[in-house]
Structure 1
């Protein structure tokens, strides 16, 4: 499968930086691309299964509420950001009104349950629990306190983070075949309840303290959680250096972070030893040899404030440290790692309900292994490496399971040398991210681009990829992005499984809109099943070799190959053999294909000028040229005052036979009638336009909607349209709220 196509212009959309926890930036959004793509109305049905080797080896079994016995209402599937169903596992869940229930039949022994649940904003309360029909004395406590986040700094982003996790020890050992029922009884007044999943597990008895360990209660720590235990923990970890500090079963409240060096801090198990703290560790450097294991840290972070160190670990644990067996919840970030952490191992942890990232390595991330972790419902990248302000190298993300990252990616690698991402599973990305991103986006300087060999092997991506609501830009399940630097590293992607992607499967993009090349990419072995639009979404130049890539259930076409800027050659897709299902190309580079759309001729009713690049001779204040193609008739472009002529030029992205134009001013009656005098030109290139309509006056009347229509000569083939204004009777400037162009 060798693809050769002439380059065509795509819309450059402004790249957005999302603020990242404890820095001033968020997860990145690709910039270039046609706008106004709609979310898939009917995503492909899930038919494939994740590969058994991918993901974490988890101590629990997850059951989906919609697959259980219930008398509630199934919501979803829905991929539209801002809806509760869009954030559910599998994009479906069960809503329970008063008196309704969902009943799970166990498939393995269990004595504990963790429920992902949504209730209305501002509500808190309980949900009754029954075991084999018998009501437990203790209900499940649920709250919306850690839900309903907003991100006003991201244009287009809506309220999100709807689900939160609640856990309960059932007080008895259950066997396969037993039932656990969640029911909205009369005393449960926090509903309606939306139940997504229930995780059932057999929790071991509390561990015993290691011989010689220093018990925090011996230094005054209060296991009831009433008194502040900060001083007791501080004293214990200072006295216990070189040994083990023990956290016995109980709940401990800390109001200040602790400093750790050369110490092991261990609990009786993450279901038994709980620390209530929103800032557990906050330190710039540590001599290292710090080991944190087998307890829970649960915060009280109800909003994301990037300048606050509201993290389990903020900063450095030092070299040769480890974090294992932890339960981290309701923090801003699980681990925000800066400074020196060489040789760190982060494994066997649960990271839930973060306001921002699950784990993020910021430079000096050398020889780090992050494995066998379960990360769900983060508000930014679930797992990420940023190669700044120092070079990350020889670090690995492996055998992790990521579910429902909000507003960013499942796993993201931003720069670095010799990085490995293997055998991970990412499911149900939402809003602004891909399942897996390999990127050269330089958030800050100094930044170290991708180098050496980047190994991406054995990963499974399920319902990954999204429609970015900021710029209406589709993002694939797997993204390679030459954002600020060409991709010159050897990127080796192998044995990838991509299932039920709502948009596209694999994307090559230069998100900064510079068209930087992506080279030295090899994809060897990829199984793509059910994809909403295209299997390959290529948006920049470069070269990629494809071997043994098979695609079935492709919604529109095998390939979209539309580089930006327009002078670039398309991505050279080299057929290495064994490929299938990549036939057919999307030919209209002026717009995104919609899931299931016929890749034929452009829709004659589509406004070809909508959200296209605009150049103006001048503008006044905030009334920029882009407002004349934004689809909002209430906003408008206004040129510099008292200076004619003024011009507006729009690039349609490719040549079309344009039949008519519609010119609009704001329809408000506050706009008085006026006439504007202008000339219309068009052509294939911006510097060689011909006159299409000679100078004439156009009357804009609020009583008639403040719009006029101009037919163009038959057979008019144009890519660029220019309006040149020479007079306006209503205001001493050129004014236009919308320029619309149609085929007929």
Structure 2
């Protein structure tokens, strides 16, 4: 089938079937995703004696990192049985075993046990990155492949049985692997230079000698396994070619490491499988680290168990990266790290990356006129499917992205710089024809969700033109489109147009606007919206507004979430403000001054034992709380810590209110309020007639118990 069929199958939660590129229909180039040489079948759709787990979107769980958010758990002796969807002679399995354990999967075809088994291990899983705020142990799945030694026909039954340990099976990929290719005429074989195809000896020097001898020609990697113990450099004006990525295998965690080169390097049709078991950002444990030089290509590769597939710096102009498989990286799949022009990354398959699957980062100079097109991305477990961090005239077109996890959206268009010198988004950023399935995640640092497609003015306002067209968003656990300044500094996101989008079964809202800016929406049609059409609450308070312009043709999302003081929950609708809820809890709080660690946020954190204390001996002092939206407030409850050590005292204060943060009025005139531990150290302030305010200010002019203003909690209610 074409990539369009893959997209439809993923969206429906059914197995996806693809044909090899040569058999692709003409319309495939305009469809979402890559044309793949294998067929994927989800374990949860198969017959099993095990236990189906999921769906789940909770960070750190097996189901949350699984394709479709579901998988099948097998204890020793239990099976999952797939119906082969096509002729195949090879099987790749996505699995997880408990940390510290190993075992095997026995393989049965039509009830007959094969002599070949699939080893399973936790060695490449359970990655920790404590320097990344909010991350938990992740990267819970792994891939293992097997040439079956026989042909399987469509409709045959292929079973996997756990042996020696519990195994959670996620997906099985069925593939018809072609016979090994023949040696190109005139090529220099690595075995002629002493490489050991058994994988026992160190073949590093043989590879270096072959590359030096083949300048202007081809290095041939015959079928076999070759062990490299260090990286190659000085690679230029050469083709390095294998017999096919199931036949020619390099075992090593670093392949090419060079900062520059004259280019014309072509890497094709072999596998590089590493031994990276943890993420060390200072180590170049990558297939390519640095530069291949201009006019280079990478195609037909199988890359697995590395830190990054391709970490590209320096001159990589006119690079083409196509038809590769990138699996089980502990960090990015590919990162175009500045200074490159006219790079095309297309028709690749990426699964289970530990950071952005595909990224452009415009450090030192902008990535320019480059694109990510027709790629299929599944299960990035700690970042985005595709991320564009700055750059000029970038295109993200016709990609299929599914099942992002913590700290990630399906697609992020961002001015997050990470470090300087950074070149923000400029020119026209085209995001067209992409399909996002179950993308977006709860951000554990923000304590609110990230949308399926995110426009993020993180470190600076977005001045580029951002055109988002013909997008399909299906089953996002939270929002479809998010506009945010992720640093919390309120930089504007402007010049955005969203047109021709189809949104189905989004968990919360269609548009999540959290920063100033503006976007035009036309022909955006939504069904199955979980809470409301729009959440429009820019942060921080007073930073501005986000303007949504209706360009016509929109439907299914005309409601607005009514209470900016709380986040929409998936699938619960908008209940309106809860009159019995404390509207101030967790809201932004500021003050004229603070003593030591007794900061304003302590007065709205929900903990009566922590408190704000103003600068001492400097009355008057004030505390201000932003409720997020205008509310008809009727009652305040002011608290001090309830311990007996807090002797009774009277604080003299007035209450002021504002709807816009600039024009203030006195709601309750100044008077004394007694706080006594014998009665809970609490004072209640009634507001006349349900006073409409968004910003609440307590102005304190005296305190009989201490020379400062003090509150452990400021609670705000809509009821008397």
SS at match of 1:658: strand
Tell me the residue number matched to 1:604: 579
2:405 matches 1:461? no
Deviations 1:595-649 (A, max 9, x none): 2233242122333122211213444555533344334566554556787766543
Using the alignment, how far apart are the partners of 1:109 and 1:264 within structure 2? 32
SS at match of 1:589: coil
1:21-60 maps to which residues of 2 (within 5 A)?
A: 53-60=31-38
Aligned residue among 255, 258, 267 for 1:292: 267
SS at match of 1:236: helix
SS at match of 2:191: helix
2:287 matches 1:312? yes
Q: In the alignment, is the contact (CA less than 8 A) between 2:76 and 2:165 conserved in 1?
A: no
1:679-694 maps to which residues of 2 (within 5 A)?
A: 679=653, 681-684=655-658, 685=661, 688=664, 690=666, 691=668, 694=671
Tell me the residue number matched to 2:323: 348
Tell me the residue number matched to 1:699: 676
Aligned residue among 482, 498, 503 for 1:528: 503
Using the alignment, how far apart are the partners of 1:491 and 1:225 within structure 2? 49
Aligned residue among 140, 144, 150 for 2:122: 144
Q: In the alignment, is the contact (CA less than 8 A) between 2:358 and 2:385 conserved in 1?
A: yes
Unaligned ranges ≥5, structure 2: 1-9, 17-26
Aligned residue among 135, 139, 142 for 1:157: 135
Using the alignment, how far apart are the partners of 1:319 and 1:623 within structure 2? 57
CA drift of 1:733 comes to: 6.9
Tell me the residue number matched to 2:687: 713
Distance 1:214 1:103, change over 3 A: same
2:193 matches 1:216? no
Tell me the residue number matched to 1:240: 214
Q: In the alignment, is the contact (CA less than 8 A) between 2:488 and 2:540 conserved in 1?
A: yes
CA drift of 1:54 comes to: 0.7
Deviations 1:380-428 (A, max 9, x none): 1110111221121111111100111122111111221221111100001
Using the alignment, how far apart are the partners of 1:621 and 1:158 within structure 2? 32
Tell me the residue number matched to 2:591: 616
Tell me the residue number matched to 2:3: none
CA drift of 1:295 comes to: 1.4
2:368 matches 1:390? no
Which piece of structure 1 moves more, 679-688 or 160-169?
679-688
Aligned residue among 165, 182, 201 for 1:227: 201
Q: In the alignment, is the contact (CA less than 8 A) between 1:330 and 1:354 conserved in 2?
A: yes
Tell me the residue number matched to 1:256: 230
CA drift of 1:55 comes to: 0.2
Using the alignment, how far apart are the partners of 1:633 and 1:304 within structure 2? 41
CA drift of 1:89 comes to: 0.8
Deviations 1:17-60 (A, max 9, x none): xxxxxxxxxxxxxxxxxxxxxxxxxxxx9659999711000111
Aligned residue among 279, 299, 302 for 1:324: 299
Using the alignment, how far apart are the partners of 2:176 and 2:681 within structure 1? 68
CA drift of 1:225 comes to: 2.3
Which piece of structure 1 moves more, 106-115 or 488-497?
488-497
Aligned residue among 127, 141, 149 for 2:105: 127
Using the alignment, how far apart are the partners of 1:357 and 1:707 within structure 2? 53
Tell me the residue number matched to 2:177: 203
Which piece of structure 1 moves more, 57-66 or 431-440?
431-440
Unaligned ranges ≥5, structure 1: 1-44
Using the alignment, how far apart are the partners of 1:623 and 1:240 within structure 2? 69
Distance 1:317 1:659, change over 3 A: same
CA drift of 1:197 comes to: 0.7
Using the alignment, how far apart are the partners of 1:500 and 1:398 within structure 2? 22
Aligned residue among 418, 440, 464 for 1:443: 418
SS at match of 1:381: coil
Aligned residue among 241, 245, 248 for 1:266: 241
Which piece of structure 1 moves more, 361-370 or 657-666?
657-666
2:685 matches 1:743? no
SS at match of 1:233: helix
Q: In the alignment, is the contact (CA less than 8 A) between 1:110 and 1:200 conserved in 2?
A: yes
SS at match of 2:298: strand
Which piece of structure 1 moves more, 561-570 or 140-149?
561-570
Which piece of structure 1 moves more, 643-652 or 199-208?
643-652
Q: In the alignment, is the contact (CA less than 8 A) between 2:301 and 2:325 conserved in 1?
A: yes
CA drift of 1:429 comes to: 1.0
TM-score (structure 2 length as normaliser): 0.90
Distance 1:734 1:563, change over 3 A: closer
Distance 1:254 1:657, change over 3 A: same
Deviations 1:655-714 (A, max 9, x none): 3233444556678x8x8454454336331147736346733342347xx9x763634335
CA drift of 1:359 comes to: 0.5
1:369-384 maps to which residues of 2 (within 5 A)?
A: 369-384=344-359
Tell me the residue number matched to 1:15: none
Distance 1:82 1:732, change over 3 A: farther
TM-score (structure 1 length as normaliser): 0.87
Which piece of structure 1 moves more, 122-131 or 214-223?
214-223
2:524 matches 1:546? no
Using the alignment, how far apart are the partners of 1:148 and 1:607 within structure 2? 40
Q: In the alignment, is the contact (CA less than 8 A) between 1:251 and 1:276 conserved in 2?
A: yes
Q: CA RMSD in A?
A: 2.7
CA drift of 1:452 comes to: 2.1
Distance 1:189 1:636, change over 3 A: farther
SS at match of 1:237: helix
Tell me the residue number matched to 1:39: none
Distance 1:513 1:470, change over 3 A: closer
Which piece of structure 1 moves more, 66-75 or 450-459?
450-459
Using the alignment, how far apart are the partners of 1:234 and 1:62 within structure 2? 37
Q: In the alignment, is the contact (CA less than 8 A) between 2:674 and 2:683 conserved in 1?
A: no
Using the alignment, how far apart are the partners of 1:666 and 1:244 within structure 2? 77
Using the alignment, how far apart are the partners of 2:355 and 2:49 within structure 1? 34
How many residues are paired up? 690
Tell me the residue number matched to 1:410: 385
Q: In the alignment, is the contact (CA less than 8 A) between 2:331 and 2:355 conserved in 1?
A: yes
2:87 matches 1:103? no
Distance 1:299 1:341, change over 3 A: same
Distance 1:153 1:724, change over 3 A: farther
SS at match of 1:225: strand
SS at match of 1:234: helix
Using the alignment, how far apart are the partners of 2:561 and 2:44 within structure 1? 36
Tell me the residue number matched to 1:21: none
Which piece of structure 1 moves more, 597-606 or 685-694?
685-694
Deviations 1:182-220 (A, max 9, x none): 112xxx2221x2111111101111222211221212222
2:297 matches 1:336? no
Using the alignment, how far apart are the partners of 1:387 and 1:617 within structure 2? 40
Q: In the alignment, is the contact (CA less than 8 A) between 2:302 and 2:325 conserved in 1?
A: yes
CA drift of 1:366 comes to: 0.5
1:573-584 maps to which residues of 2 (within 5 A)?
A: 573-584=548-559
Distance 1:725 1:676, change over 3 A: farther
Using the alignment, how far apart are the partners of 1:344 and 1:122 within structure 2? 40
Which piece of structure 1 moves more, 470-479 or 608-617?
608-617
